[in-house]
Copies of this chain bind each other. A is one copy, B any other.
């Protein structure tokens, strides 16, 4: 129902008599379906999609309704790109690095090993060339993307035995994101990619020797501490993984300018809120895990440095072999280097000083 048909049906005279201002803001009722890659139990990852849908609903008096679905409910957890691309759903919410297999370029919308932290990702996306470049890439998948969350740096994951040296990695069946798997393969790691909901039994049964999921809050919910004692940090393959809202291009084009603006602000609100939620909830969860016997371990500098070199080599190869990657990565890498050179003088020194204090 728009202003034009209101005027037609109710009669222009009556409308004018009532003093109705031009109703450019009046909008048709819309129902969309949003498929996520996440289990309902996670009020962080799944909950952020709900938060987005609520923000859109509230801003439109319930006229723009978005129903949110767990991974597998209407689309498989890792099938959401296809689902949006072919229009099975209008929207999805996912961690783009799951789609490394389609094209490693997806990972630049989320996280690559030794890449950006959350602050850097948002800066590159919103105020650098990031979002512009990624939208050019996503266009061929019929996707318009909106940054919609960032977990902050994740943990390195749960290990059944201690991993001190590069040699200790040999033969390790490790569930991690595919790009991290690629970086670790030269050291004999056998990478696995399994949706979150299926991880616990795999680690329990020994199908996996180690896994990483997110961080203390989510990991405690999924109970990984019950089946592995060592909890490594940091997850250097995801220094600030970004979540994306995917919207089918035709569905997006069909929205009014007002609805587009509402979606854009709701996504940005979800983005900042998710990081806030993780930062607020991880500390207590980490304390609880340590109280339950979890042993915290940093990755050794030997492992970090070897992995860093392996990652740089892969980036060099992709720059040569993958034209889509090449269109984006150099800009990403320059932004990363530039911001690190600034953060070294600003955030770095402040945070280090504060983390050393007894508060």
**Which positions in A face B, CB cutoff 8 Å?**
1, 5-6, 8-11, 14-15, 17-21, 23-29, 55, 58-63, 114, 117-120, 122-128, 152-155, 215-216, 233-236, 239, 256-258, 260-262, 264-266, 268-269, 271-273, 275-284, 286-287, 296, 298, 304, 308, 333, 335-355, 357, 359
Contacts and interface: CB of A to CB of B under 8 A. Distances in A.
B345 A60 contact: no
A346 B281 CA distance: 14
B61 A24 contact: yes
Given A26-B26, A55-B265, A153-B346, 4 more contacts: A55-B264, A262-B265, A348-B355, A352-B352
Contacts of A152: 119, 346-347
B351 A283 contact: no
A342 to B, nearest CB: 4
B346 A308 contact: no
Nearest to A216: B342
Residue in A117, A125, A347 with the greatest tally of chain B CB atoms within 10 Å: A347
Nearest to A258: B61
A320 to B, nearest CB: 19
A14 B17 CA distance: 14
Contact of A296 (B61, B153, B215, B345): B345
A323 B357 CA distance: 26
A96 B336 CA distance: 32
A64 to B, nearest CB: 9
Contacts of A26: 23, 25-26
Nearest to A282: B342
Contacts of A154: 346
Contacts of A239: 350-351, 354
> Which 9 pairs, one residue from A and one from B, show the smallest C-beta to C-beta distance?
A9-B18, A58-B261, A123-B279, A127-B280, A25-B61, A268-B269, A337-B359, A24-B61, A265-B265
A238 to B, nearest CB: 9
Copies in the complex: 2
B280 A128 contact: yes
B349 A117 contact: no
Contact of A272 (B233, B268, B282): B268
Given A10-B14, A19-B1, A351-B347, A342 B286 contact: yes
Contacts of A279: 119-120, 122-123, 127, 339, 342
A116 to B, nearest CB: 9
Contact of A118 (B119, B283, B286): B119
A264 B269 contact: yes
A343 B350 contact: no
Nearest to A116: B354
A308 B356 CA distance: 12
A68 to B, nearest CB: 17
Contacts of A351: 117, 239, 343, 347-348, 351
Residue in A15, A269, A342, A352 with the greatest tally of chain B CB atoms within 10 Å: A342
B18 A5 contact: yes
26 contacts: A1-B18, A10-B14, A10-B15, A21-B28, A25-B26, A25-B27, A55-B264, A58-B261, A122-B275, A124-B280, A152-B347, A234-B350, A236-B350, A262-B262, A262-B265, A265-B265, A268-B268, A271-B272, A279-B342, A282-B346, A284-B338, A286-B345, A287-B341, A337-B359, A340-B359, A343-B351
